[in-house]
Structure 1
Amino acid sequence: MPQPILPRRALLAAGLGAAALGAPAHAQQAAPELRWRLASGFARNLDILFGAAESFAKSVAEATDGRFQIQVSAAGETVPGDGVLDAVSGAKVEMGHAPATLGMGRNPAFALAAAMPFGLNARGQNAWWLQGGASELFSEIFAKQGLTALPGGNTGAQMGGWFRKEIRTVNDVQGLKLRVTGLGATVMAKLGAAVQATPGPDIAAALESRALDAAEWIGPHDDERLGLQKVASIYHYPGFWEGGAMLHFWINAEAWKALPKAYQAILKGAAAQVNQEVQARYDARNPQALRRLVSGGAQLRPFPQDVMEAAWKAANEVYADLSAKNPDFKRIYEALRTFRNEEYLWFQVAEYTYDNFMIRARARG
C-alpha cells in the first residue's frame, strides 16, 4: 500500500523539527530572517504553473514562522520568462521556477531533465529523478552553471496542440508553421516543420494572424486559459514531445550553499509538496476542461500512425547526433533510455493492463 501523503504544514514542520532537534539551543534561536526573490517563467493567469511558485513560497513562510520570505514575480515582471535560468545563475534573483529546456543553449543535456520526445511519462520521470539516479547525473552539469535544482511539478502527458488544418499524413508537416519548443522543436524541424518558439501569452494572436499554422502549449486546462480554442479547432494528441514534462525550482548555487541546513531541508520539503500538487491539479482539472473544449467545438484528432513513426525515427536520429557531439548528453540519455525501457516493462504488465480495462469499462458505461 502507498504511504499516506501528509498535509503540507505537517510535512514541512517535520522537516524543520528534525533539523532543529539535532541543533543546539542557541542555533535554534539563531534562524536568520531572509528575503529572497523567485522569478517564475509563467504568467499569472496560468494558475497551476504560476501558482506552484506561490504555493512554494507560502509553505516556506509557514514552516519558518515567517522568517524566510520569498517574493514571487511572474514572467516579464522581474525577468523575461525565457530568462529565468540566466537571472538565477547570475544572482539577479535567488530562485526561479521554469522547465530545464531553458538551459538547452548552455548544454543540450538540460532538456533531458524536463522531457524529451518519446521519453518517460510523468511517473517515470519522477521515479528516474528521485530513485533512478537522475538527480546525481544532473547535479554536476547544473553546478557548472551556478545552479542547484529541485523537482517542482509535472504537467503529465501533454496534448499535441491546436491546428487550423488536420494532420492526416507526415507530408502535412512539411512547411507547417508550428510553435513547439525543446527537443520537440528539433525533431519537428527534422520532419520539415518551420518551428517557432512563440511565448505562451502570444500564441493565440499568432494563430489568429496566421503567423502560426499550429501551436502546442500544455493541455486542456492551460490551453483553455490562453484561449487557443478560439483561434483553431483541430486539437491533436498526444504531445509525444513531452510525455511527462518536469519543472524545477532553480536556486543560485552560492545562495543555496549559504543557507542553514534547516532552511535547505525546508526548501526541499516545500518543493516535494509542490511536485505532488502540480500533477494532482492537472489531473483533477484537465477532464472538465477537455469536456468544455469539445462541447465548444474542438475536434479531437490523434496524430496518424505514420506521423508517430516518422517522429520516433527522427527523434532517435537526433539523440544519436547529440550523443556523438556532447558527452554529457550521451551519458544522461543512455541512463534515461535504460530506465525508460525498464519502466515500460513494468507498466506493460500492471499499469497498462489495468488502465486499458478501466478505459474500456468506462466506454461500455
Structure 2
Amino acid sequence: MNRRSFLKNTALGGSAAAATSLAAPAYAQGNRTLTMVTTWGRGLAGVHDAAQYCADAITEMSDGALTVDLKAAGELVGAFEVFDAVSAGQADMYHGVDYYFLGQHPALSFFSQVPFGMNFQEYSNWFYHDGGRELADELYPIFGLKPFPAGNTGPQSGGWFKSEINSPDDFQGLKFRMPGQGGQVLGKLGASVQNLPGSEVYQALSSGAIDGTEWIGPWADEKAGFQEITKIYYTAGFHEPGPNLNLTLNLDVYEELTPAQQSIISNAAQAVNIWSMSQFMANNSAALQRLQSGGVTILEFPDSVWDAFGAAAEEVTKEPMGDELYKKCYDSYMESLRSSAAWGSRSEGEFTAQRNRIVGI
C-alpha cells in the first residue's frame, strides 16, 4: 500500500484529512524553477520539440512564476531513469513515453500505447471524457506522480530492416529495437527485442548491434538518418497507432502549486498535445517522398505478418490481466475504443475513403 493510501485509510490519516479540509492549502510562494527531465536526446525531431514547447509554454503562461529548466536525456539522468527520478523527487517533472516503464506497472501501457490500440483522437476521447483520466489518477499516485497527456506522434511506421519481411518466420532471431508491448509482440514471433533510447538507435543500427528498428515516422526517421544505413522501410506499423507522450509531475510538487499554476500545467500540456500531433502529420508526407526519391524502398507487411502480429498482440495485452488495476484499465480502454471506432468508421472513415476517391488522393 502506498503512503497516501495508508494515510487515507487510518484513523490518524482520516483526522489529518479532516483537519486539512478546514484550513487553506499551503501553496509555495514566489517564483519557482521546476526541473524537467526527458526520455529524449536533445534535438530529437518532434519529441524533444514537444518537451521544449511544453517547458516554454508553462514559463510564458505563468509570466515567469514557474520557470521550467529542461534537461534532455543524459544531462541529469538517463532516458530510462526519469520515472524514478521524478517519483523520488530528484526532478520535478518528466516528459516522455511511459511504455519505457512497464516494469513499474503494466497498466502504464494504456497511458502510452498498446498494440492495435487507440489513435490520437480515440485516446483523447478516452482520457478526457470516457474514464481514462480517472484511471490515471488511480495508477500514477501509487508512484507519487501526476500525469498529463502532452504530445502525440500520430501513427508510427513499421520500421527499418536490413532485409524484407515476407512471412512471420523472418522475425526469428531478428535483433530489433521496439519498446513496450509492441516489442513483446515481436518477442512472441521469435525476435531478439532491444529497448534502446532514441538517441542510441542510429549507432546501434549502424554498428550492426541491431538488424532493424522502428522509431516514429518518415519525418523524424529522416531526421535521425536511418536511410543512410538501410533502404527498406515499412510505413504501417501495428505497435503505435497514436502513442501518447506524458508530462508527469511529482505529485507533492503538483499539490504545492496554486490552483492557477495547476491550471497552467494542464492547459500547457493540452496545447502541446495538438501542436505536437500536427507537427508530425504536417511533415510526414513530404519526408516520405524525399526518402523514396533518395532510393528507399517503401513496403507494407503482407497479410500473413499482420495476422501474426494480431494473434501475438492478443496474448501480450491479456497476459497481465491477473493484476486488478491492469484489468480495470483494459476493460475501460477497450470499451471506449470500440465505441469511438464504431462511430469513426461510419463517419470520418467513410468520408475519408470517399473524399480520397473523388479528389484522387
TM-score, length-scaled by structure 2: 0.90
Give a deviation string over 1:52-100, Cα, whole Å, max 9, x none: 2222222222222222111111111111111111111011110110011
Which letter does structure 2 place at the counterpart of 1:77?
E
Contact 2:40–2:199 (CA under 8 A) maintained in structure 1: no
State the partner residue of 1:247.
245
Q: CA deviation at 1:119?
A: 0.4
Structure 1 unpaired stretches of 5+: 1-26
- 1-side partners of 2:337 and 2:241: how far apart? 12
The within-5 A match list for 1:57-206 is 57-206=55-204
State the partner residue of 2:10.
none
The within-5 A match list for 1:168-317 is 168-317=166-315
Which letter does structure 2 place at the counterpart of 1:211?
A
Q: CA deviation at 1:32?
A: 2.1
- 2-side partners of 1:170 and 1:233: how far apart? 20
Give a deviation string over 1:292-343, Cα, whole Å, max 9, x none: 11111111111111111111111111222211x3111111111111111111
Helix, strand or coil: the match of 1:333? helix
Give a deviation string over 1:335-359, Cα, whole Å, max 9, x none: 1111111111111111111111233
- 1-side partners of 2:349 and 2:44: how far apart? 31
State the partner residue of 2:348.
351
Contact 1:120–1:244 (CA under 8 A) maintained in structure 2: yes
Contact 2:38–2:79 (CA under 8 A) maintained in structure 1: yes
Give a deviation string over 1:170-227, Cα, whole Å, max 9, x none: 1111111111000001111011111111222222222222221110011111111111
Helix, strand or coil: the match of 1:350? helix
Which letter does structure 2 place at the counterpart of 1:238?
A
State the partner residue of 2:326.
329
| Root mean square deviation of aligned Cα | 1.5
Which letter does structure 2 place at the counterpart of 1:260?
T
Structure 2 unpaired stretches of 5+: 1-24
Task: Determine whether 1:338 maps to 2:341.
Answer: no
**201 and 117 in structure 1: CA distance in 2 versus 1, 3 angstrom threshold:** same
**331 and 164 in structure 1: CA distance in 2 versus 1, 3 angstrom threshold:** same
Q: CA deviation at 1:127?
A: 1.2
Contact 1:85–1:102 (CA under 8 A) maintained in structure 2: no
Contact 1:43–1:75 (CA under 8 A) maintained in structure 2: yes
Helix, strand or coil: the match of 2:46? helix
| Moved segments of 4+, more than 4 Å | none
- 1-side partners of 2:232 and 2:354: how far apart? 28
Which letter does structure 1 place at the counterpart of 2:344?
F
142-151 vs 284-293, which moves further: 284-293
Matched pairs, number: 335
Give a deviation string over 1:140-170, Cα, whole Å, max 9, x none: 1100101000110111110010001110111
Helix, strand or coil: the match of 1:255? helix
Q: CA deviation at 1:31?
A: 5.9
Contact 1:189–1:195 (CA under 8 A) maintained in structure 2: yes
Contact 1:85–1:96 (CA under 8 A) maintained in structure 2: yes
**47 and 31 in structure 1: CA distance in 2 versus 1, 3 angstrom threshold:** farther
- 2-side partners of 1:259 and 1:72: how far apart? 19
Contact 1:45–1:225 (CA under 8 A) maintained in structure 2: no
206-215 vs 261-270, which moves further: 206-215
- 1-side partners of 2:356 and 2:206: how far apart? 36
TM-score, length-scaled by structure 1: 0.89
Helix, strand or coil: the match of 1:349? helix
Which letter does structure 1 place at the counterpart of 2:328?
R
Helix, strand or coil: the match of 1:53? helix
Helix, strand or coil: the match of 1:91? coil
The within-5 A match list for 1:10-89 is 32-89=30-87
- 2-side partners of 1:294 and 1:361: how far apart? 26
State the partner residue of 2:357.
360
194-203 vs 30-39, which moves further: 30-39
Contact 2:114–2:317 (CA under 8 A) maintained in structure 1: no
Q: State, as a whole percentage, how many aligned pairs show the same letter.
A: 35
